[in-house]
Copies of this chain bind each other. A is one copy, B any other.
Amino acid sequence: MKIGELAKKAKCTVETIRYYEKVGLLPASSRDNINNYRLYNKSHLERLTFVRHCRALAMSHEEILVLLQARNQPAQKCDSIDQLIDDHLQHVTVRIKELQKLEAQLLKLRLQCQTPTDSQHCGILQDLEQAIEDNSTDKNFSHVAGSH
């Protein structure tokens, strides 16, 4: 199958597939001799699907590469896989807590200006000029992405 069909089946864009090939998450496919189009088979789709599932779980490319390698060495013990998932889970949990702190701070901030007035007296701006309790959010970032 051609790249467009693969993209549809894996629910991603063709650009993403070409990008994955470039960075080594997918092996280079064979090519049509005549027009140089990339040609894929079922095993490409399986690998790509695997990668997309990992990405949906917010794993980094590095983590995914480890899993892909493990997948190719069936006899190996899977302790390292368990560890990787545990570590990643930890990242996500940490990030959730960070964002919850942030949410609480923003809620508090928002309450500073319940009744709209002019900027000069807006409690929100005044608060943003004050110190915020040290919470170390955004410092030792875990690897799971944020809110924008």
Contact = CB atoms under 8 A, between A and B. Distances in A.
B128 A50 contact: yes
A53 B128 CA distance: 6
A22 interface: no
B78 A116 contact: yes
A120 B74 CA distance: 4
A82 B147 contact: no
A141 B88 CA distance: 19
Interface string A91-126: 111111001101101110110010011111010110
Nearest to A120: B74
Nearest 9 A/B pairs, CB to CB: A144-B147, A143-B148, A145-B146, A74-B120, A144-B146, A78-B122, A95-B147, A91-B147, A145-B145
19 contacts: A55-B138, A56-B135, A57-B109, A58-B102, A58-B138, A73-B119, A74-B120, A75-B118, A77-B116, A77-B119, A78-B116, A78-B117, A78-B119, A85-B109, A86-B110, A89-B106, A96-B100, A142-B148, A145-B148
Given A74-B120, A89-B106, 17 more contacts: A49-B131, A53-B130, A57-B106, A57-B109, A58-B99, A58-B137, A70-B122, A70-B125, A75-B119, A77-B118, A82-B116, A82-B124, A91-B147, A91-B148, A92-B106, A95-B147, A99-B144
